[in-house]
Amino acid sequence: MPEPLHALLQLILAGGATAPRRALVETHGCPARALAAGASAWRGAGLSAAQVQGLQQPDADQLQGALQWLQDPRHHLVGWQDADYPALLRQTGSPPLGLFVDGDPSLLWHPGVAIVGSRAPTAGGRDHAARFARAFVQSGLSIISGLAAGIDGAAHRSTLAAGGLTIAVLGTGPDLSYPRSHAELRHQIAETGAIVSEHPPGTPARPGHFPGRNRIIAGLALGTLVVEAAERSGALITARLAGEAGREVFALPGSIHNPMARGCHRLIREGVGLVETPEEVIAALVPVALELAAALRGRLEEAPPRPHIGNGPAIPPLASAHKQLWLALAHDPTSMDSLAERTGLTTAELSSMLLAMELDGRVAVEHGRYSRKS
């Protein structure tokens, strides 16, 4: 296990306020040097007495459990100091120090929409979540939600059924399912998408974790769509956090007789965009998608190779992968499967790169097939 990763784990397990620990890492350049700086430097960065004690005497069982979880090639820890830390989340007011990822961490760069709402939606609300998710998938967007019952689950399931990419952000450790009935859904998402948590493996569900979970959902997404929500709802927290992060927020109107529509109506009264079709959301997100594409191009062309985390195979430099893809593209339309076969890249990696090229005017896409533009 690389020393920087071990040090990052210790900083995460220290708990408490995130900002001082991020500042400590930024000041010293990497987690290992931040950890080696000692107690006086930790206190100087604003760490509390409890955090200092946590760094001096880490919970050995928790540390060992996290290290063991990371031995699986599909398990990753993306730290604040890593070039692969998702660009949109980095821009928010309170980004996590690190993200535990079960699945493909490159998906955290893929342009996506958050779909959130009630845990007890109407049948119509479930249908709306599924319909919007399918349309977003067809436009090349991933779907981000919180794996909760109700709207979250409907959005994730519809995305998987449509062959799309979905990210589930948890308020537990990345190895747990909440609710438990979503254990199989969690497994399916990890197989083709990504399960994300700022909490180390083994962390149970606690009420205080879910507002933090919501800020990550809002921070990873280009925009947030609230499908159905009561007047007091976690979905409204996600919407507020998305607005504070400068992201677009949309709400579906509903019947005045539906108590699950009142939260959406409140958002609309407060100035959130009222939408009736997925196309309205997609059109509004184009400017934000262009910003993400610019950040992605910079990451592809300039950044050093991604670190080798855990026991999985080393990931090739993104710049090299970008060139591979460009050479694999022809002037005749080529399917995603053919591009994956020619390059050896995953569908998620290809999707992100192709979107950047498409927005840059270099690639055309028609009926799911890609070609170079003349």
Residues 123 and 238 in one domain: yes
- Cα 17 to Cα 22, 31, 204, 205, 282: the distances in Å are 9, 16, 19, 19, 35
What's the pLDDT score for residue 297? 62
Q: Which candidate, 43, 56, 95, places its Cα nearest to that of 241?
A: 95
Number of structural domains in the chain? 3
> Does one domain contain both 234 and 322?
no
Of 172, 37, 17, the residue nearest 96 (C-alpha) = 17
Residue 336 lies in a domain: yes
Amino acid identity of residue 187, one-letter, is H
Is residue 101 domain-resident? no
Digit-by-digit pLDDT tens for the chain (374 residues) are 447 789 999 999 999 999 999 999 999 999 999 999 999 999 999 999 999 999 999 999 999 999 999 999 999 999 998 888 998 999 898 899 999 999 999 899 889 999 999 999 999 999 999 999 999 999 889 999 999 999 999 999 999 999 999 999 999 999 999 999 999 999 999 999 999 999 999 999 998 899 999 999 999 999 999 999 998 889 999 999 999 998 999 999 999 999 999 999 999 999 999 999 999 999 898 777 776 666 666 665 554 443 333 333 333 344 567 778 888 887 788 888 888 888 888 765 676 677 667 656 678 777 667 888 76
Does residue 173 share a domain with residue 263? yes
Measure the CA–CA gap between 165 and 60, rounded to whole angstroms: 36
Q: Are residues 133 and 248 in the same domain?
A: yes
The pLDDT of residue 96: 96
- Looking at residue 260, its pLDDT comes to 92
What was the pLDDT predicted at 368?
66
Residues 214, 112 share a domain: yes
Q: Domain of residue 216: give its range.
A: 106-285
- Please name the helix (run of DSSP H) or strand (run of DSSP E) that holds residue 265, with its range, or none: helix 262-269
Q: Which residues on adjacent β-strands are paired with residue 145?
A: 168
**Residue 298, in any domain of the structure:** no
CATH number at residue 352: 1.10.10.10
CATH of the domain at 161: 3.40.50.450
User: Are 277 and 174 contained in the same domain?
Assistant: yes
> Does 174 share its domain with 219?
yes
In a domain? residue 98: no
Is residue 50, in this structure, part of any structural domain at all? yes
Residue 302: the pLDDT is 52
Give the Cβ contact number of residue 185 at 10 Å.
19
Q: Are 177 and 203 in contact (CB under 8 A)?
A: no
**pLDDT at 231 (0 to 100):** 87
